[in-house]
Amino acid sequence: MGEKADLSCRRQNRGKKHTGTAGGRTEKRNIPELPETERKKKHTGTAGGRTEERNMPELPEVESIRRVLEPQLRGLAVRHVTAKRPEIIAHPGAEEFCGRLAGQTVDHMERRGKFLTLCLAGGDRVILHLRMTGRLLLTPADYPVEKHTHLIFQLDDGRELRFCDTRRFGRFWLLRAGEADTCSGMDRLGMEPEDARLSAEYLRSAFGKRKKAVKECLLDQSVIAGIGNIYSDEILFAAHICPTRPAGSLTEEEWERLAAEIPERLRFFTEKNAVTPEEYLKGRGQEYRNTPFLQVYGHAGSPCPVCGEILCRTVVGGRSSVFCPACQAELP
- At 1, the pLDDT band (50, 70, 90 cuts) reads very low
Lowest mean pLDDT of 96-110, 124-138, 196-210, 285-299, name the range.
Answer: 285-299
What local confidence, expressed as pLDDT, does residue 39 receive? 40
Q: Is the peptide bond before 92 cis (omega within 30 degrees of 0)?
A: yes
Query: How far apart, in whole angstroms, are the C-alpha atoms of residue 114 and residue 228?
Result: 9
Counting the structural domains of the chain, the total is 2
As a whole number of Å, the end-to-end CA separation of the chain is: 15
Write out 48-86 in H/E/C secondary structure.
Answer: CCEECCCCCCCHHHHHHHHHHHHHHHCCCEEEEEEECCH
Does residue 288 share a domain with residue 196?
yes
Return the active site residues: 57-58, 114, 319
Does residue 72 share a domain with residue 19?
no
What local confidence, expressed as pLDDT, does residue 332 receive? 64
Per 3-state DSSP, the chain is made up of helix, strand and coil in percentages (nearest 5) of 30, 25, 45
Residue 187's φ and ψ, nearest 5 degrees, are -70, -15
Does residue 171 share a domain with residue 296?
no
In a domain, 2, yes or no: no
In a domain, 332, yes or no: no
Domain at 171, CATH number: 3.20.190.10
Question: What mean pLDDT do residues 131-153 have?
Answer: 96
Does residue 224 share a domain with residue 211?
yes
Does residue 94 share a domain with residue 13?
no
Q: Is 85 exposed, middle or buried (0-12, 13-18, 19+ CB in 10 A)?
A: middle
From 131, 162, 187, give the residue that closes a domain.
187
DSSP letters for 211-226: -SBHHHHHT-TTTBSS
Q: What is the pTM of this model?
A: 0.86
In a domain, 331, yes or no: no
The domain containing residue 119 runs over which residues?
59-187
Contacts of 257 (CB under 8 A, 6+ apart): 28, 239, 240, 241
Does residue 207 share a domain with residue 154?
no
- At 41, the pLDDT band (50, 70, 90 cuts) reads very low
Which residue has better confidence, 38 or 97? 97
Does residue 268 share a domain with residue 318?
yes
Per-residue pLDDT reduced to its tens digit, 189-223: 999 999 999 999 999 999 999 999 999 999 999 99
Domain at 235, CATH number: 1.10.8.50
Does residue 24 share a domain with residue 44?
yes
From 162, 187, 212, give the residue that closes a domain.
187
Does residue 96 share a domain with residue 168?
yes
What local confidence, expressed as pLDDT, does residue 123 receive? 98
Does residue 145 share a domain with residue 208?
no
Does residue 124 share a domain with residue 89?
yes
Does residue 209 share a domain with residue 183?
no
In a domain, 1, yes or no: no
Question: What mean pLDDT do residues 42-69 have?
Answer: 68
Residue 109's φ and ψ, nearest 5 degrees, are -130, 135
Per-residue pLDDT reduced to its tens digit, 4-33: 455 456 545 554 544 444 333 334 445 544
